[in-house]
Amino acid sequence: MDGVVNIHKPIGITSFGVVHSVKKILQVKKAGHIGTLDPMAEGVLPICLNQTTKIIQFLTPLPKVYTACMALGVVTDTQDATGKTLATADASAISEEQVRDAIQSFVGEQLQTPPMFSAKKKDGIPLYKLARNGITIDRKPVPIKIYSIEFIGKKETHVTFKAHCSAGSYIRTLCHDIGTKLGCGAHMLNLVRNQVGNFDLETSVSLEELSTAKSEQTLSGKIYSIETVLGFIPEIRVKPEFYKSIIHGVPLPKSSIEAAPEKFQIGTALRVCNNNQLIAIVEPVVDQSAFALMNPNDIAFKLKRVLT
């Protein structure tokens, strides 16, 4: 059983716990999730099954959409409602206009410092384990992008918004930083992940629904094929006589290519298919302008992952 199942993770369980439950329900040996959700969060958690775990690296960078509620006037050590209060301030005078302006100031490319209570690792140790032992270390800010933020509403000191952001963005840190911008502090009250790439809440299934589909033998509509999931990656067409070489991990010379995208860059992921079956992901070693000047036997694409 290969493919990807779009699970709606409930509140109160870890992402790893969801993976464990999916493995048990579907009786698969291997499974892995795309993008960690904290126990307090709910929403879209795509899970790759068996051989499809090979494509996690191509799905992890997908952009995400979240709906969050934050509380103004309280700062916590975890930047969310599960943490200890570090500071309080009177946020009753903060207007909706001030909140809207502060939120919009975070749209665009920026550097964000990962929270200590996170799954990021230092020397192989998750930061949250260090934090729980009272250890705080310097974290390097990482580049993220907030594509858009939609203000949804404000009720007293609680603010709800929807954010479309790049992978690696921490919404609780965004809440914290918005609070700092407003001068009153803030923390995240709750979080729903609405979308991961093309996976959304509308097409997600609960663990209970997955279990029912398994027992009723109606899983076909719940598990997405690798071809469907990676359909967003541009395709190159390779001459059939090179398929066997690809399966053995042999790089592709220019002469093997029948057609390629009009534009591509070094390191861009590209699909190689055989009769609509995805067999590999490759990446160019040159851009399209240099590709045009290559000799037929020059290596143009190297294998990133063989999928057959």
3-class state of residue 288 by DSSP: helix
Pair (173, 278) in one structural domain: no
Beta strands in 230-269 (DSSP E): 235-238, 252-253, 257-259
User: Of the residues 228, 250, 273, which one is the last residue of a structural domain?
Assistant: 228
Q: Cα 298 to the chain's mean position, in Å? A: 35
Residues 162 and 212 in one domain: no
Angstrom CA distances, 86 to 70, 76, 275, stand at 16, 5, 59
User: Which residue did the predictor score with more confidence, 70 or 262?
Assistant: 70
Model pLDDT, residue 135 = 65
Q: What is the CATH number of the domain that holds 220?
A: 3.30.2350.10
**Average pLDDT of the segment spanning 31-50:** 95
Spatial distance between the Cα atoms of 233 and 282, rounded to a whole number of angstroms: 11
Q: Are residues 117 and 181 in the same domain?
A: yes
- Count of C-beta atoms within a 10 Å radius of residue 52: 26
Residues 78 and 169 reside in one and the same domain: yes
Do residues 87 and 176 touch, judged by C-beta distance below 8 A?
no
> In the predicted model, is pLDDT for residue 137 greater than 70?
no
Percent pLDDT > 70 in the chain is 93
- Given CA atoms 263, 269, 270, 276 in this order, what sign does their dihedral have? negative
Which tokens hold the place of 225? 């094929």
DSSP three-state, residue 116: coil
Tell whether 205 and 283 lie within a shared domain. Answer: no
Q: Where are the alpha helices (DSSP H) in 4-151?
A: 15-26, 56-59, 96-104, 127-132
Q: How far apart are the first and last CA of the chain?
A: 14
CATH classification of the domain holding 281: 2.30.130.10
Interacting residues of 131 by C-beta distance below 8 A, sequence separation 6+: 77, 116, 117
Residue 138 annotated among the catalytic residues of the structure: no
Task: Give phi and psi for 38, each to the nearest 5.
Answer: -65, 160
Mean pLDDT of 16-33: 96
Residues 89 and 167 in one domain: yes
How many Å separate Cα 154 from the centre of its chain?
28
| Mean pLDDT (the chain, rounded) | 92
pLDDT in tens, 78-127: 999 999 999 999 999 999 999 999 999 999 999 998 876 666 666 666 66
Reported confidence tier of residue 276, pLDDT bands at 50, 70, 90 = confident
pLDDT, average across residues 127-139: 66
Cα–Cα distances in Å, from 204 out to 67, 116, 195?
A: 16, 30, 10
Together in a domain, 123 and 202: no
Residues 44 and 98 reside in one and the same domain? no
Residue 55 pLDDT exceeds 80: yes
Q: Residue 265 carries which DSSP code?
A: -
Q: Does 254 share its domain with 269? A: yes
Based on the fold, state whether residues 139 and 215 are members of the same structural domain: no
Same-domain status, 68 and 102 = yes
Q: For residue 276, give every residue at least 6 positions away whose Cβ sits within 8 Å of its Cβ, in sequence order, or none.
A: 227
Question: Average pLDDT, stretch 141-155?
Answer: 96
Q: Which of 38, 77, 123, 138 is catalytic?
A: 38
What is the structure's pLDDT at 131? 60
Overall number of domains in the chain: 3
Can you give the residue range of the structural domain that contains 35?
3-62+198-228
- State the burial class of residue 289 (Cβ atoms within 10 Å of its Cβ: 0-12, 13-18, 19+): exposed
**What is the mean pLDDT of the segment spanning 59-83?**
95
pLDDT confidence of residue 9: 98
pLDDT for 150: 97
- For the CA atoms of 200, 201, 203, 207, the dihedral, rounded to the nearest 10 degrees, stands at 120
Q: Are 179 and 255 within one domain?
A: no
pTM of the model: 0.90
The 10s digit of each residue's pLDDT in 181-230 is 999 999 999 999 999 999 999 999 999 999 999 999 999 889 999 999 99
Q: 178, 210, 228 — which closes off a domain?
A: 228
The pLDDT of residue 224 is: 95
Residue 252 clears pLDDT 80, i.e. is over it = yes
